[in-house]
Structure 1
Amino acid sequence: MAGNQAVNLNPPDAAEHLVAHGSDWLWAAFSYMAVCLFIAFGLMFKRPRGTRLFHQIAVVILATSSLAYFSMASDLGATPIPVEFRGDGGDPTRQIWYVRYIQWFINFPLLLLEVLLTTGVPLSDILVTLFMSIVLVVCGLVGALVHSTYKWGYYTFGCTALLYIWYSLLWNAPSTTLAARGVVHRGYYLCAGFFSFMLITYPICWACAEGANVISVTSEMVWYGILDCIAGPLFLFLFLWEIRGIDYSSFGFGSSQFVAGAGAVPGKRPVGEQQA
């Protein structure tokens, strides 16, 4: 099996580590991510030029996830860290998968950007929300790398950042003027509600895995893998389906496809500049 080969070629260096069955699961998750990536590529090229922004973001997210899961399935991208609460004769070491946090560092802000671009939220509010998503991921990584109980301080900071993200998705954004009111408005509530629900499951998994060291590394991989497969490909395809028939000009995007000044009337925007 691929899992046995990966674990043998890249042997773990921690007492609590990924086993062959866990690697097999990760290879399956990688295959799922890769297939979804190719589908997203196909959907992107079916769109007219200038209307591919949301599909291009989805491609970046899925490409990042595929690389991350390839690394984890190969038993690469982890470091041994002493952990608490389990083991005899002292605290054992556990594999902490920093490659997963690199994935989230890239994907989490992009997922939020995908959703918030369909709203009338000011750019400044979007940037603050994206910053809070980075704070959440960084706090999770630093907390996972800390051996002492001070890790729960970082956990608290991360959860506080998550509260702001919920506020932005569920309160601030719906209170603004949503583009193409009606279709996008309904689609936004569906996607934002779904994504907000998924977000609460990640801190729970962190508390059981990197935090309290209650579940094994393989169980951690299965749990996070299910969440990533739902919050990644499944969510993205749901989102793209909801906005499939929306005119991009209703989002108020600007495009660089027209050369400034080429046949343009001074003080008047060229036709089609609203598209992106």
Structure 2
Amino acid sequence: MIHPDQVAEMLYPALTTSKPGPIPTVIPNPTHYQLSSETAHRTLWVLFAAMTLFSAVFALLSWNVPVSKRVYHVTTTAVTLASALAYFGMAAGHASSLSCHAVRDRHGHGLPDTFHDECRQVYWARYVDWVLTTPLVLLNLCLLAGVDGAHTLMALIANVVMVLAGLFAAYGAEGTAQKWGWFVIACLGYVFVVWHVGLHGTRAVQNKAARVSKLWASLAIYTLALWAAYPIVWGVAALARKTNVDTEVVIYAVLDVLAKPIFGLWLLVSHRAIAETNIELGGYWSQGLPAEGRIRIGEED
């Protein structure tokens, strides 16, 4: 007589003879790096040379200008000089770090999920550059229009908040409200800058000559429109990471040249041709502290 188990083996041999195999091993993906290449390095060195050259040009343009009238020359030279130092640091490889975040890898078929790191090179010296130079550009616009000190100071503070928020966003945790929250704060800072410089500058410059008003309007529209491109590139590159580091470096290089040396050259050449733009500062700016009233120890009566 045939046993029931034998019947099952004859009818369904695969079910009775096969044994479950081992669970496949899931190997996590290696860390992905988004780093700059030779294209970015060459671009950084070119920008360092360009900013240094423009600094020398701006300094030479101030050679025959009295110290009391060198306000714009000093600010524009400081802008390109600070930018040159920042680009030297980035080109030399000592002004960047990695911003890493974990990415989930879903394998399906009952296999456990794994994680791998994605690290992108962030040039933090770029933000140091912006936090030093962009307030000076705004200061030039405010001085040219004649904006009062209170609104000038508020515009400069909003600008610093904008840049620092961008730095925090670049290093923020991926996929969290932290990163995009800082991005929103930076955009609000830009709105405040436009508000204070654009609105109050327009009101203040109406009291000046027509040539000054026209020059200020051209520079203000040029600068604020150009600055609007920065958060777009910043959101696509540093935050969403949709472009490689080389593309980010090249785009920022073009924007920096337009926003700093080209702006400065435009301002200084126009300032020299329009006498109404002169801002003459005396006192400590051009003469230092007064000598009267100083106490000299050991001096005989």
Asked if 1:61 is matched to 2:89, the reply is no
Q: Structure 2 CA distance, aligned partners of 1:201 and 1:57?
A: 23
Correspondences of 1:113-262 after superposition (within 5 Å): 113-148=139-174, 149=176, 150-177=178-205, 180-247=208-275, 251=279, 253-256=281-284, 257=286
Secondary structure of the structure 2 residue equivalent to 1:244: helix
Secondary structure of the structure 2 residue equivalent to 1:158: helix
- CA shift in 2, pair 1:109/1:29, >3 Å: same
- CA shift in 2, pair 1:142/1:259, >3 Å: closer
How far did 1:187 drift? Answer: 0.6
Contact 2:55 2:81 in 1 (8 A): yes
- CA shift in 2, pair 1:41/1:179, >3 Å: farther
With 163-172 and 98-107 compared, the bigger mean Cα shift is at 163-172
- CA shift in 2, pair 1:104/1:170, >3 Å: same
Q: Structure 1 CA distance, aligned partners of 2:77 and 2:150?
A: 25
Q: Structure 1 CA distance, aligned partners of 2:230 and 2:104?
A: 22
Structure 2 counterpart of 1:273: none
Which of 66, 73, 96 pairs up with 1:78?
96
How far did 1:253 drift? Answer: 4.2
- CA shift in 2, pair 1:176/1:86, >3 Å: farther
Secondary structure of the structure 2 residue equivalent to 1:82: strand
Q: Structure 2 CA distance, aligned partners of 1:33 and 1:169?
A: 26
- CA shift in 2, pair 1:94/1:42, >3 Å: same
Contact 1:80 1:95 in 2 (8 A): yes
In proportion to residue count, which structure has more strand? 2
How far did 1:20 drift? Answer: 1.2
Contact 2:102 2:115 in 1 (8 A): no
Q: Structure 2 CA distance, aligned partners of 1:47 and 1:86?
A: 62
- CA shift in 2, pair 1:176/1:248, >3 Å: closer
Contact 1:51 1:248 in 2 (8 A): no
Question: TM-score w.r.t. structure 1 length?
Answer: 0.83
Contact 1:143 1:152 in 2 (8 A): yes
- CA shift in 2, pair 1:234/1:177, >3 Å: closer
How far did 1:178 drift? Answer: 5.1
Structure 2 counterpart of 1:274: none
Contact 1:80 1:94 in 2 (8 A): yes
Q: Structure 2 CA distance, aligned partners of 1:103 and 1:234?
A: 17
Structure 2 counterpart of 1:271: none
- CA shift in 2, pair 1:244/1:97, >3 Å: same
Question: TM-score w.r.t. structure 2 length?
Answer: 0.77
Percent of residue pairs identical: 25
Structure 1 counterpart of 2:118: 92
Secondary structure of the structure 2 residue equivalent to 1:193: helix
Unaligned runs of 5+ in 1: 1-13, 264-276
Structure 1 counterpart of 2:5: none
With 111-120 and 253-262 compared, the bigger mean Cα shift is at 253-262
Contact 1:84 1:147 in 2 (8 A): no
Q: Structure 2 CA distance, aligned partners of 1:261 and 1:89?
A: 67
Secondary structure of the structure 2 residue equivalent to 1:93: strand
Secondary structure of the structure 2 residue equivalent to 1:91: strand
Secondary structure of the structure 1 residue equivalent to 2:204: coil
**CA RMSD, Structure 1 to Structure 2 (Å):** 2.6
Q: Structure 1 CA distance, aligned partners of 2:43 and 2:239?
A: 22
Unaligned runs of 5+ in 2: 1-31, 106-113, 293-301
Secondary structure of the structure 2 residue equivalent to 1:146: coil
Contact 2:69 2:279 in 1 (8 A): no
How far did 1:216 drift? Answer: 0.7
Aligned length: 251
Q: Structure 2 CA distance, aligned partners of 1:141 and 1:50?
A: 36
* 1:170-194 Cα deviation digits (max 9, x unpaired): 2221112456422211110010000
Structure 1 or 2, whichever has the larger Rg, is 2
Structure 1 counterpart of 2:59: 41
Q: Structure 2 CA distance, aligned partners of 1:214 and 1:187?
A: 38
How far did 1:244 drift? Answer: 1.4
How far did 1:248 drift? Answer: 7.0
- CA shift in 2, pair 1:86/1:52, >3 Å: farther
